[in-house]
Chains A and B, each alone.
Chain A
C-alpha cells in the first residue's frame, strides 16, 4: 500500500467488475506488447517517510547554507530578510495546492493576490501595468526584448554588456532562436557607454536594454541613454533590483518603456537558484503585446467586485502559433510571496531595507579599502554591491574567507577580463557590523 494511493484491493476489484475488465493489465492493451517494460523500472524499492527524510537530509547537510555562514555573495541572487509571515501564507494549502485560476469564481484568493501583486509592482517601478510574473529575471529580460521586437517590428536589440551574465546568456539563446541580432554595448569606466549607443543605434534597433544598478554594482546614468533611445523611436528596457527601488529613481521616472527584474529578493529564499520570479511592467500602450498572464478587475452579475485572467487572446491556449509567447504558467506562488513581502514591509519597510543595505554596503566598502591594500574599481555611486580589486589572487581570497567561515563575493574575472582579481561584494541589511568587520579582518590578514 502507498499512502498517496487510496484504492484498496476491494476497491480495485469493484471498479474492474463495474467496467468489465478482469485485470488492471487489460486496461493497457492499446500499448503494443513489445513496448511494455518486462522487468519494471530499475529503481530502488519504495521508501518509508523516515528513510526519505534521512536520505534527503543527508544531502541538505552536505551544503553550507547562509544560516551557517554570513554571505557576501550577490550577483543577481540575494540574501535579504524574509519575514516569518511570508512562509506561513505561501504554505497555506489553499494557495499552493491550487492550479492556474481557470475557474475564477473559486479562485478569487489567487486572483486577488496577483492583482495586488501587479499593483505593488506598478507602485515600485512607477509603470502603468504589470503582468502576473514570469519564470525569473533573466527570462523576463529576454521576453522584454522579444516584446520590443514585436512592438517595433525591427530586427535588432542593443544590450549593455553590464547586464548580469546569466541574463545575457539567456537573452542570447532566446534571440538566436528567432534570428534577432544582438549588439552588445561596451563598458566605459564602470557604466554602459552612452556614446556607443548614440553612434550605433539605427532604424534596425527595437530596444536598448540597460541594467541598473549594473552587474558590477554601479547605478547607471540614464539621461543620455534615454534621449538617444527615444530619439531613435526605440524602446528603453530597464532591468532593476526591486529592493533598490525603495530609494533609487524608478524606471518610470527614468523614461523606461518596459521594466523587468528578478523578484527573488522580495521574500523568496535563494533556493540554489530557483524557483524565483521575474517581474515585468510596461507603459499602458504596450499591454496587448505583454507576454504572460494578466489579472484584471471586473464584476459579477450582482455587481460585486471580482478578478479574472484577462486579455487572454494573447495567450497560447487561444492563439496557438500566433500567441505573443508560449508561456502558460507564471510563478504564482513566488509572486504571492513577493506580494506578502511587499505588504509586510510596506511603504516604510521597503525604504528601510534599501537604506540599511546602502549604509552597510558603503560601510563595508570604506572599511575594506581603508588600509589601501584593497580599492574600489571605480569611484561611482553604487547600491548594495561594489567591485574591489587588489593584488591578491581572487581564488585565494575566496578560499581563505571560506576557511574563516565566510562566503565571499563573486569573482569578476569573466566580467572584467582586465581585472582578474576583482571581486564583487554584496552587503544586504542582513549583514551585521560584526560580520562586516570579520570580513575585513580576514581580508587584512591576507596581504
Chain B
C-alpha cells in the first residue's frame, strides 16, 4: 500500500514532537483582550511519526538525485553537496542581516566577490544580488530601464518588445512594471524576424527582452544587428539569463550588446531548485546604469566592506536585505570549484549532450528547426503517429520509466512542443536511457497506443484530475 495519510490524520491528542527548556523567568500575565479565542489546530505528532510522515512523502517525489531531469529552460543540473555544506556553516546560516557591519565582514566579502565574478562571467559592469528569483530579476531590470529613460526625461517609452518564443515571465513582468507588451514573431530559422522587429521599434519602445540562446535552444545569430537596431531606436536590450548554461566562457551578454540582464543561480550555477524555490536572480548592468541598481550596494575600502544606502537614483528595494544569501554562498562555491576552464567545459558538454540527444531522436520525432542546437532543443510531434498520440501522453508515459518528462507545450510557437535540456551533468549512459525510452514510446505509439493513453501506470497516483481541482478548489485540510 502506498502511504496516503495527511499529517493531520497522523495527529493524536496529547502527542508532542518538540522539547523546550523549562521557563526560567517569572510568568507575566497575558491580557485576555489580546488573546486568540481558540488554539490553532496544528497537528500533534511525536518525532517518530513526523519523520516517517515526511520520509514517506519524500519517496513520492522524483528528483535530480534519482535521475535525469531534462526540463527545458530549467537547467536541472546536479546540485553539488559541498555547496550545501558551505551554506549551512554556522557563520553564514546564523547571522542576522542587521548585525553591526564589523561582525559580518566575511559575508559581505563573499557578496562583493560574487558580484565581481558575475561581472567577469557576463561582461557586465556591476551586479545586484538582491532579486529572489529570475522573475524578480526581470522586474528589477525593467525598473532600471524605466528609471534610465525617466532620468533622460524620456517619458513616452511605454512599450516592451518580446519575441513570440519568450518565457511567460517576460510579458508578465513587463505589464507588472507598467509597460505595454508587443510581441514580435520569429522567422523560419527560429531567429527574431528582423523585419518585424524593425517595424515594432519606435520612439515609444523602452526595451527588447531577449533570451539567447532562445527558448528554441538556438543562438540568435543576428544578435549584433539586433543590438544595433534596438540602440539606434533609443531603447535598451535586456538579457533573460535562463539559458546562460549554453554560453559560459564562450561568449558574454555584455559583449553581445546587452545593457541589463539577470542570471538564475538555481539554473546555471547549480543551486538546488528546492521543489520550486528558493532561487536567486542577480541582475547585471552596464556602466551607465549602475546608479539605478537597488540599494544597498556593497563598497570595499581597503580590506573592509560596508553597505551604501545613499543612492539617490536607485530604484529602491525589491527584496528584504541582500538577496537569498544562502543560495549565493552555494553558487559562489560552485564557481570556485569550476574555475574558468570548468565553466567553459559546462557549456561545451551541455551543448554536446543536447545535440547528441537531438540527432538520436530525429528518426522518430519532428524537429521543427533543424539547426545545430545549443544546450536544449525543441521537438514537435511523433513522425509516424497513426493513433494521434500527443505530447502530454508521451510525457505521462515517460513517468513509467522513472524518467522526468521534458518541458511540454512550450515554446508556444511549436505545436505539441517538447523542450529537452539534458545539462552537462548527465552521462552518456543516462542520455542513452532517455533516448531509448523516447524511441520505445514512439514504437508503442504505433503498436500499443493504449499503453500510452492510459499512462502513467507505475506512479503512486494515476493520472490526476486537474479540472476537478480547479472547478471547486479544496486548498486546505478540514476536520
Interface residue from B28, B59, B74, B92 paired with A362 (Cβ < 8 Å): B28
Are A57 and B95 in touch, CB under 8 angstroms?
A: no
Is B364 engaged at the interface, CB distance under 8 Å to the other chain?
no
Are B60 and A112 in touch, CB under 8 angstroms?
A: yes
B117 contacts across to A, CB distance below 8 A: 43
B134-173 CB mask vs A (1 if < 8 Å, else 0) is 1110110001001000000000000000000001110111
Are B352 and A270 in touch, CB under 8 angstroms?
A: no
Q: Which stretch of A199-207, A341-349, A368-376 is in the interface?
A: A341-349
A238 contacts across to B, CB distance below 8 A: none
A64 contacts across to B, CB distance below 8 A: 95, 99, 103-104
Are B35 and A249 in touch, CB under 8 angstroms?
A: yes
Is A105 engaged at the interface, CB distance under 8 Å to the other chain?
yes
A179–B127 Cα gap in the complex (Å)?
26
A250–B40 Cα gap in the complex (Å)?
10
A347-363 CB mask vs B (1 if < 8 Å, else 0) is 11111110110111011
Interface residue from A18, A55, A108, A336 paired with B461 (Cβ < 8 Å): A108
Interface residue from B120, B169, B469 paired with A41 (Cβ < 8 Å): B120
A249 contacts across to B, CB distance below 8 A: 34-37
Interface residue from A77, A174, A253, A307 paired with B318 (Cβ < 8 Å): A174
B294 contacts across to A, CB distance below 8 A: 173
Is B93 engaged at the interface, CB distance under 8 Å to the other chain?
yes
Are A101 and B475 in touch, CB under 8 angstroms?
A: no
B301 contacts across to A, CB distance below 8 A: none
A73–B99 Cα gap in the complex (Å)?
8
Is A420 engaged at the interface, CB distance under 8 Å to the other chain?
no
Is B385 engaged at the interface, CB distance under 8 Å to the other chain?
no
Is B359 engaged at the interface, CB distance under 8 Å to the other chain?
yes
Least CB separation from A2: chain B residue? B342
A21 contacts across to B, CB distance below 8 A: 355
A172 contacts across to B, CB distance below 8 A: 316
Least CB separation from B270: chain A residue? A4
In this complex, the member of B4, B139, B346, B356 whose beta carbon has the largest number of chain A beta carbons within 10 angstroms is B356
A36–B256 Cα gap in the complex (Å)?
9
Contacts A63-B92, A330-B277 given: A116-B8 contact, CB under 8 Å? yes
Interface residue from B18, B79, B132 paired with A275 (Cβ < 8 Å): B132
Are B57 and A12 in touch, CB under 8 angstroms?
A: no
Q: Which stretch of B231-239, B419-427, B441-449 is in the interface?
A: B419-427
Are A332 and B274 in touch, CB under 8 angstroms?
A: yes
A306-327 CB mask vs B (1 if < 8 Å, else 0) is 1110111101111111110111
A169–B462 Cα gap in the complex (Å)?
47
Are A248 and B461 in touch, CB under 8 angstroms?
A: no
B429 CB → nearest A CB, Å: 8
Interface residue from B62, B95, B143, B346 paired with A270 (Cβ < 8 Å): B95
Are B34 and A381 in touch, CB under 8 angstroms?
A: yes
Interface members, chain B 415-470 (any A CB < 8 Å): 424-428, 430, 456, 459-466, 468-470
Is A425 engaged at the interface, CB distance under 8 Å to the other chain?
no
B316-347 CB mask vs A (1 if < 8 Å, else 0) is 11111111111101001101111111111110
Is A115 engaged at the interface, CB distance under 8 Å to the other chain?
yes
A407 contacts across to B, CB distance below 8 A: 96, 99-100, 103
B211 CB → nearest A CB, Å: 14
Is B84 engaged at the interface, CB distance under 8 Å to the other chain?
yes
B224 contacts across to A, CB distance below 8 A: 32, 35
The bracket for how many chain B residues form the interface is 35 or more
B288 contacts across to A, CB distance below 8 A: none
Are A31 and B103 in touch, CB under 8 angstroms?
A: no
Least CB separation from B329: chain A residue? A56
Are B71 and A63 in touch, CB under 8 angstroms?
A: no
Is B252 engaged at the interface, CB distance under 8 Å to the other chain?
yes
A5 contacts across to B, CB distance below 8 A: 342, 345-346, 349, 424-425
A133 contacts across to B, CB distance below 8 A: 277
Is A96 engaged at the interface, CB distance under 8 Å to the other chain?
yes
B16-45 CB mask vs A (1 if < 8 Å, else 0) is 111011011111101100111101111111
Least CB separation from B178: chain A residue? A178
Contacts A97-B79, A119-B476, A332-B276 given: A270-B333 contact, CB under 8 Å? no
In this complex, the member of A21, A60, A137, A178 whose beta carbon has the largest number of chain B beta carbons within 10 angstroms is A60
B366 CB → nearest A CB, Å: 18
A351–B463 Cα gap in the complex (Å)?
40
Is B76 engaged at the interface, CB distance under 8 Å to the other chain?
yes
Are A129 and B7 in touch, CB under 8 angstroms?
A: no
Are B275 and A98 in touch, CB under 8 angstroms?
A: yes
A66 CB → nearest B CB, Å: 4
Are A115 and B475 in touch, CB under 8 angstroms?
A: yes
A436–B26 Cα gap in the complex (Å)?
13
Contacts A31-B250, A245-B40 given: A308-B469 contact, CB under 8 Å? yes
A406–B104 Cα gap in the complex (Å)?
14
B428 CB → nearest A CB, Å: 4
Least CB separation from B347: chain A residue? A28
Is A16 engaged at the interface, CB distance under 8 Å to the other chain?
yes
Is B284 engaged at the interface, CB distance under 8 Å to the other chain?
no
Least CB separation from B14: chain A residue? A348
Is B198 engaged at the interface, CB distance under 8 Å to the other chain?
no
Interface residue from B35, B143, B277 paired with A332 (Cβ < 8 Å): B277
A63–B252 Cα gap in the complex (Å)?
34
Are B276 and A123 in touch, CB under 8 angstroms?
A: no
Contacts A179-B178, A345-B42 given: A119-B8 contact, CB under 8 Å? yes
A398 contacts across to B, CB distance below 8 A: 100
Is B201 engaged at the interface, CB distance under 8 Å to the other chain?
no
A139–B50 Cα gap in the complex (Å)?
31
A284-322 CB mask vs B (1 if < 8 Å, else 0) is 000100000111111111101111101111011111111
A313–B467 Cα gap in the complex (Å)?
11
A316 contacts across to B, CB distance below 8 A: 135, 168-169, 171-172
Interface residue from B37, B121, B219 paired with A31 (Cβ < 8 Å): B219
Are A27 and B352 in touch, CB under 8 angstroms?
A: yes
A320 contacts across to B, CB distance below 8 A: 168, 171-172, 181
Is A76 engaged at the interface, CB distance under 8 Å to the other chain?
yes
B166-209 CB mask vs A (1 if < 8 Å, else 0) is 01110111111110010000000000000000000000000000
B351 CB → nearest A CB, Å: 5
A107 CB → nearest B CB, Å: 6
Are A299 and B468 in touch, CB under 8 angstroms?
A: yes
Interface members, chain B 378-437 (any A CB < 8 Å): 395-396, 399, 404-405, 407, 410, 424-428, 430
Least CB separation from A275: chain B residue? B278
A104–B275 Cα gap in the complex (Å)?
12
Is A402 engaged at the interface, CB distance under 8 Å to the other chain?
yes
Is A58 engaged at the interface, CB distance under 8 Å to the other chain?
yes
Interface residue from A60, A102, A126, A297 paired with B71 (Cβ < 8 Å): A102
Are B4 and A109 in touch, CB under 8 angstroms?
A: no
Are B255 and A35 in touch, CB under 8 angstroms?
A: yes
Interface residue from A7, A30, A45 paired with B341 (Cβ < 8 Å): A45
A209–B362 Cα gap in the complex (Å)?
57
Is A447 engaged at the interface, CB distance under 8 Å to the other chain?
no
Is A215 engaged at the interface, CB distance under 8 Å to the other chain?
no
A443–B276 Cα gap in the complex (Å)?
45
Are B30 and A358 in touch, CB under 8 angstroms?
A: yes
Least CB separation from B405: chain A residue? A103
Q: Which stretch of A84-92, A155-163, A189-197, A224-232 is in the interface?
A: A84-92
Is B86 engaged at the interface, CB distance under 8 Å to the other chain?
yes
Contacts A27-B351, A137-B320, A429-B20 given: A311-B106 contact, CB under 8 Å? no
A327 contacts across to B, CB distance below 8 A: 133, 135-136
Are B320 and A359 in touch, CB under 8 angstroms?
A: no
B326 contacts across to A, CB distance below 8 A: 269, 271-272, 274-275
Least CB separation from B28: chain A residue? A362
Return 6 A-B CB contacts under 8 Å, by A number.
A27-B348, A30-B218, A47-B339, A60-B90, A96-B274, A275-B325
User: Which 6 pairs between the two chains have the least Cβ-Cβ distance?
Assistant: A273-B321, A62-B106, A60-B91, A333-B274, A273-B97, A46-B339
Beyond A35-B255, A334-B274, A432-B21, 9 additional pairs, beta carbon < 8 A: A19-B356, A30-B218, A30-B219, A31-B221, A94-B65, A97-B64, A273-B325, A359-B26, A360-B23
